[in-house]
Amino acid sequence: MAKASGSVRSQCPYCGVGCGLELMPPAQPGRAVSRDAEGTPMWTARGDRQHPSSLGQVCIKGATVGETLGLDRLTHPQYRASLDEPFEPISWEAVFDLLVGRIRSTLASRGPGALAMYGSGQFHTEDYYIAQKFLKGALGTNNFDANSRLCMSSAVAGYSRSLGSDGPPCCYEDLDHCKVVFLIGTNTAECHPVLFQRLLKRKRRQPDSLTIVVVDPRATETSKVADIHLAVTPGSDLALLHGLAHLMLRGNGIDGDFVDEATEGFAAFASLAAEWTPERTARFCGISIAKLRKVARLWSRSDAVLSLWSMGVNQRREGTAVVGGLINLHLLTGQIGKPGAGPFSLTGQPNAMGGREAGGLSHLLPGYRSVTNADHRRELEQAWGFAEGSIQSTPGLTAWQQVEAMEAGELDLWWVAATNPLVSLPNLERVKAAMARCPLVVVNEAYRSTESACYAHLLLPAAQWSEKRGVMTNSERRVTYCPAFRDPPGEARPDWQIWAELARRLGFEKQFSYASSAQVYEEFAALTAGRLCDVSGLSHALLQAEGPQQWPFSVGSTPGAESKRLYTDHCFPTPSGRARFMAEQPRGLAEPPCDVYPLVLTVGRYLGQWHTMTRTAKVQRLQAMHPEPLLEIHPEDAKRFGITDGGLAAINSRRGGVTAIAQVSDRIRPGTVFLPMHWGFSQPQSCEANLLMHQLCCPVSKQPELKAAAVVVAPAVSVVKPLEQERGLLERLPRWFSSSVH
Ligand SMILES: Nc1nc2c(c(=O)[nH]1)N[C@H]1C(S)=C(S)[C@@H](COP(=O)(O)OP(=O)(O)OC[C@H]3O[C@@H](n4cnc5c(=O)[nH]c(N)nc54)[C@H](O)[C@@H]3O)O[C@H]1N2
Ligand SMILES: Nc1nc2c(c(=O)[nH]1)N[C@H]1C(S)=C(S)[C@@H](COP(=O)(O)OP(=O)(O)OC[C@H]3O[C@@H](n4cnc5c(=O)[nH]c(N)nc54)[C@H](O)[C@@H]3O)O[C@H]1N2
Ligand code: SF4
Ligand SMILES: [Mo]
pLDDT at 1: 61
Share of the chain above pLDDT 90, in %: 94
- Which of 172, 183, 168, 159 lies closest to 295, judged by CA? 183
- Give the model's pLDDT for residue 561: 82
Please tell me whether the overall predicted TM-score, pTM, comes out greater than 0.75 for this model.
Answer: yes
Helix/strand/coil percent split, the chain, to 5 = 35, 15, 50
224-to-196, 203, 218, 230, 645 alpha-carbon distances in Å: 12, 12, 10, 12, 22
- The pLDDT of 56-81, averaged and rounded, is 97
Per-residue model confidence (pLDDT) at position 740: 43
Helices (H) and strands (E) counted in the chain, each on its own, are 25, 28
Task: Identify the CA nearest to 712 among candidates 662, 639, 637.
Answer: 637
Confidence of residue 736 (pLDDT cuts 50, 70, 90): low
Average pLDDT over residues 116-135: 98
Residue minimizing CA distance to atom 42 of ligand 1: 218
**Per-residue pLDDT, 724:** 76
**Counting atoms of ligand 1 from 1, which one is nearest the CA of 611?**
7
Is ligand 1 within 6 A of the CB of residue 187?
yes
Q: Please compute Rg for the chain using Cα positions.
A: 25
Q: What pLDDT does 3 receive?
A: 77
Number of residues that make up the chain: 742
**To the nearest whole percent, how much of the chain has pLDDT over 70?**
99
Rounded average pLDDT over 213-237: 97
Q: Would you state the pLDDT for residue 737?
A: 56
Residue nearest to atom 6 of ligand 3 (CA): 59
How far is 466 from 42, CA to CA, in rounded Å? 12
Is residue 576 within 8 A of residue 265, CB to CB? The reply is: no
pLDDT category, 5, cuts 50, 70, 90? confident
pLDDT band at 147 (very low <50, low <70, confident <90, very high): very high
Show Cβ contacts of residue 108 under 8 Å, excluding neighbours closer than 6 positions.
Answer: none
Q: Is the pLDDT of residue 637 over 80?
A: yes
pLDDT at 721 over 90: no
Can you give the pLDDT at residue 719? 86
Closest ligand 3 atom number to CA of residue 193: 1
Q: What is the mean pLDDT of residues 344-349?
A: 97
d(CA 164, CA 653): 39
Pairwise CA distance, residues 520 & 514, whole Å: 7
Whether 284 contacts 586, CB under 8 Å:
yes
Average pLDDT over residues 336-349: 97
Q: What string of H, E and C letters represents the secondary structure of 404-429?
A: HHHHCCCCCEEEEECCCHHHHCCCHH
Q: CB–CB of 261/570 below 8 Å?
A: yes
Q: Kindly report the protein residue whose alpha carbon is nearest to atom 19 of ligand 1.
A: 311
Indicate the residue type of 590. Answer: A
Structure confidence by residue, pLDDT tens digits, 645-688:
999 999 999 999 999 999 999 999 999 999 999 999 999 999 99
Q: What is the mean pLDDT of residues 78-88?
A: 96
Omega before 552 within 30 of 0, i.e. cis: yes
Residue 17: CB atoms within 10 Å: 28
Say how many Å lie between the CA of residue 12 and the centre of ligand 3: 6
* Residue 122 to residue 132: CA distance in whole angstroms: 15
Query: Average pLDDT of the chain?
Result: 96
Average pLDDT over residues 583-602: 97
Following DSSP, what letter does each residue of 50-105 receive, concatenated? Answer: T-TTTTT---HHHHTGGGGSSTTB--S-EE-SSTTSPPEE--HHHHHHHHHHHHHH
582 lines ligand 3 (CB under 6 A): no
What the chain holds in terms of domains, given with CATH numbers, is 1-69 (2.60.40.4210), 78-150+350-514 (3.40.50.740), 153-346 (3.40.228.10), 599-722 (2.40.40.20)
Q: Say how many Å lie between the first and final Cα of the chain, rounded.
A: 25
Instruction: Output DSSP code: residue 729.
Output: H
Q: How far is the C-alpha of 559 from the C-alpha of 708, rounded, in Å?
A: 44
Q: What is the structure's pLDDT at 560? A: 86
What's the whole-number mean pLDDT along residues 320-329?
A: 98
Higher pLDDT: 356 or 718? It is: 356
Largest Cα–Cα separation, the chain: 71
Residue 92, SS3 per DSSP: helix
Phi, psi of 343 (to 5 degrees): -90, 110
pLDDT beyond 80 at 274 = yes
Confidence of residue 725 (pLDDT cuts 50, 70, 90): confident
Ligand nearest to the CA of 233: 1
Q: How large is the average pLDDT for residues 507-512?
A: 98
> Which of the 8 DSSP states describes residue 87?
P
pLDDT in tens, 539-567: 999 999 999 999 999 999 999 887 899 99
**pLDDT of res. 4:** 79
Name residues contacting ligand 2 (CB within 6 A): 120, 122, 147, 150-151, 311, 315, 348-349, 417-421, 423-424, 444-447, 450, 462, 464-465, 495, 603-604, 611-612, 614, 677, 689-690, 693, 706
Ligand nearest to the CA of 706: 2
Q: What's the whole-number mean pLDDT along residues 198-209?
A: 95
Taking CA atoms, 677 is separated from 34, 238, 472, 612, 686, in Å, by 31, 25, 25, 7, 10
At 725, the amino acid letter reads Q
The whole-number average pLDDT for the span 45-64 is 97
The DSSP annotation for 561-620 comes to: ----SS-TTS--SSTTS-EE---------SS---SSS-EEEEEE--TT--TT-TTGGG-H
Q: How confident is the model at residue 739 (pLDDT cuts 50, 70, 90)?
A: very low
- 67, pLDDT greater than 80: yes
- Comparing CA positions, the residue from 203, 152, 571 lying closest to residue 364 is 152
